[in-house]
Structure 1
């Protein structure tokens, strides 16, 4: 008997389909409510970054580039760690690389377009430290993932690179532009 691929994916016709736990309207209303709550909380966090920077004596760039992503992506990090412990590194790497690619290739440019529509001045003119760290990260990650294998030493290298980048942003003080005093 020859079995074709399309018959494998069809499955048994007698199998019961899983019932949805909540309906479409309920799920959509939850999505809207949670989106509104998260946007309000995000607005609050962004509004307190400069005050936290002044009171803690830490640069705004360190808080927004190092600390905020750790807290904001905690669920994603936990998921990646769980997949790594289950020896599903392809999923773990897919989550991490997909998130990084999504932020750098979609979210940042889209934010510039939205800021332009809102009349807010924002551009992609990164300073030397930010550009250098991005290039350094891409090169180290590419060399680490090049052969398709993993072991603890590669993890240590990536973690040390992260610590070095965090230390650079910790000691780097951004200069404030001079305002015309005329």
Structure 2
């Protein structure tokens, strides 16, 4: 999965980057936005690396506290851990991405909106989860990608739903409503679902 994600990044950013250019990019290049360009602040590459490193370390520290608090929150709120992990945490953790996707959608920039939404999901499923498993092996933690049947079926069905919604390349309010309702169905399913645990767990 990590090799597939690396190949996808190389394909998108290096070898076939022209396939991912915006349709309106040529029109926007011809428009005079000199005032906005002058106001934009630039930082050096080393400043970017320093900021990313600092924020990554800080987020990793906060994530440790967050993970430790999930079980207590599950007990006190009377909610399944899977519901908190799959529904509540991603909403809070990706709030900035959700806000930017909504802003771009309101400006009729559907290609950017889909890039934000689908790119984030692809990054989590193809890079973050396998990378966490590899890091867990290095740290001596018994982690694997052996998900339960319910989680695997949910992932498979959501990929199919999104693929069918994107097939025509058009959007309307009904498709948006169907996606929201599908998300609510998945959330409700995780709220009431209980995995059958073996005696070893």
TM-score by length of 1: 0.83
Q: Which has the higher helix share?
A: 2
Bigger CA drift: 167-176 or 19-28?
19-28
SS at match of 1:150: coil
Q: CA deviation at 1:98?
A: 0.7
Deviation, 1:146, is 0.2
SS class of match (2:147):
coil
1:68 aligns with 2:65: no
- Contact preservation (8 Å) 2:101, 2:112: yes
Kept in 2: contact 1:59–1:174 (CA 8 A): no
**TM alignment of 1:47-62, pairs within 5 A:** 47-62=68-83
* CA separation of 1:101 and 1:23: change in aligned 2, threshold 3 A: closer
Instruction: Tell me by how many angstroms 1:28 deviates.
Output: 3.8
Unaligned ranges ≥5, structure 2: 1-28, 30-36
CA contact (8 A) 1:81 1:92 kept: yes
- Superposed, 1:115-130 pairs within 5 Å as 115-130=136-151
RMSD (Å) for aligned C-alpha atoms: 2.3
Return the match for 2:113 from 63, 72, 92.
92
SS at match of 2:141: coil
Q: Distance in 1 between matches of 2:44 and 2:159?
A: 43
The change in CA–CA distance for 1:19 and 1:75 in structure 2 (over 3 A counts) is closer
Equivalent pairs, count: 166
Highest relative contact order (Cα 8 Å, sep 6+), 1 or 2? 2
Deviations along 1:41-80, one digit per CA (max 9) or x if unpaired, are 1111111001111111111100001100000000000000
Matches of 1:106 and 1:33 in 2, distance apart? 21
Structure 1 equivalent of residue 164 of structure 2 = 143
Q: Distance in 1 between matches of 2:40 and 2:102?
A: 30
Per-residue deviation, 1:96: 0.6
Distance 1:153 1:32, change over 3 A: same
**TM-score, normalised on structure 2?**
0.75
Equivalent residue number for residue 199 of structure 2: 178
**How far apart are the structure 2 equivalents of 1:68 and 1:124?**
20
The alignment partner of 1:173 has SS state of coil
Which secondary structure does the structure 2 equivalent of 1:178 belong to?
A: coil
